[in-house]
Amino acid sequence: MQKAGVWLFLALGALIASARQVPPPATNPPPKQAPASGPAEGYKPVESSMSALTNAQMRMVEPGIFEIGKVRLDQRRRSVTLPAVLDKAQGLMEYFLVTTYGKTHESILKTDAQPYHIHLAMLLLGVAGPGNAEFPGSPTNGVPGPVVHPSKETVPGNKVAIDVKWKTPDGDTRHTAQDLIYKNDSRAVMEKGYWIYNGSLIIQNKFLAQMDGSIISLVTDPVALINYTGPGHDNDLIWEPNANNLPSPDVPVEVTITFPEPPAKP
């Protein structure tokens, strides 16, 4: 858990610095759009994610709501929201969401939001992730052992919910992420309740989710920020987009990750 502690310390420092630098607005105007950030299509970042995190620009929109690049953190709702668009509407999938420089050939959605911005926001909600030492495989000098992709091993982490929203002529359309994912062996949508925020891996001072652009994985992938751990997470031949519920390719969508309140202790 030592790495998780370092991440949380840096995240809190960034939040404090941001709050000091950007005072809350005196009135309540409509929230401004975050300044453009993130790589152009096809660009793959190579900087150390630890350094990138400490340099992340955070802006307070109103008390309790912050913007980090294209990611919005809502502390009251315990949620993180980012923009995305439809990437693939058919074919076998291994990911639900990747960056525009990630594995777009096998992902339903794609985003130009940055993984380390998402991780910083989740840390500020108290989602620390398990740290390298708790991933499947036998760690050596802090580096996890090999994990077959996909694997019958399950990735540890914090339970989260994922929802998707977009606008239509008739108003907003909302779905759980599972509603957009079809499981062809059972001829049904994905089972609910199995998303785990594991927070990726840090190896040689590199945040692997940022390097690979992997955000939400349908099959076991410790590099991704979020993993599905329910039935079929070890099978990369059963997941497809659910054509009945998908947005149009040109329609912007919002993906919201919610970290629920922990259960009260008896």
Q: Tens digits of per-residue pLDDT, 99-132?
A: 999 999 999 999 999 999 999 999 999 987 776 6
pLDDT band at 137 (very low <50, low <70, confident <90, very high): low
Q: Which domain holds residue 150?
A: 2-26+49-258
Q: Please check whether residue 44 lies inside any domain of the structure.
A: no
- Backbone phi and psi for residue 209, each to the nearest 5 degrees, phi listed first: -60, -35
Mean pLDDT of 174-199: 95
Q: Distance between alpha carbon 13 and the CA centroid of its chain, in Å?
A: 21
pLDDT band at 266 (very low <50, low <70, confident <90, very high): low
**Paired strand residues for 164:** 175, 255
Q: Please check whether residue 178 lies inside any domain of the structure.
A: yes
Total count of domains within the chain = 1
- Three-state DSSP at 49 gives helix
Q: Please check whether residue 85 lies inside any domain of the structure.
A: yes
Closest to 117 measured CA to CA, from 186, 185, 66, 75: 66
Q: Please check whether residue 106 lies inside any domain of the structure.
A: yes
Q: Distance between alpha carbon 40 and the CA centroid of its chain, in Å?
A: 19
pLDDT band at 172 (very low <50, low <70, confident <90, very high): very high
Beta strand segments in the chain, E:
58-62, 65-68, 71-74, 79-86, 95-99, 107-111, 158-159, 161-168, 171-176, 181-183, 188-189, 195-197, 202-203, 206-207, 214-217, 226-228, 239-241, 253-258
Mean pLDDT of 10-24: 37
Q: Distance between alpha carbon 15 and the CA centroid of its chain, in Å?
A: 19
Q: Please check whether residue 40 lies inside any domain of the structure.
A: no
Assess whether pLDDT exceeds 60 at residue 264.
no
Q: Please check whether residue 242 lies inside any domain of the structure.
A: yes
Q: Please check whether residue 38 lies inside any domain of the structure.
A: no
Average of per-residue pLDDT values in the chain: 80
Q: Please check whether residue 263 lies inside any domain of the structure.
A: no
C-beta of residue 57 within 8 angstroms of C-beta of residue 69: yes
Assess whether pLDDT exceeds 50 at residue 48.
no
pLDDT band at 52 (very low <50, low <70, confident <90, very high): low
Mean pLDDT of 71-86: 97
Mean pLDDT of 227-248: 96
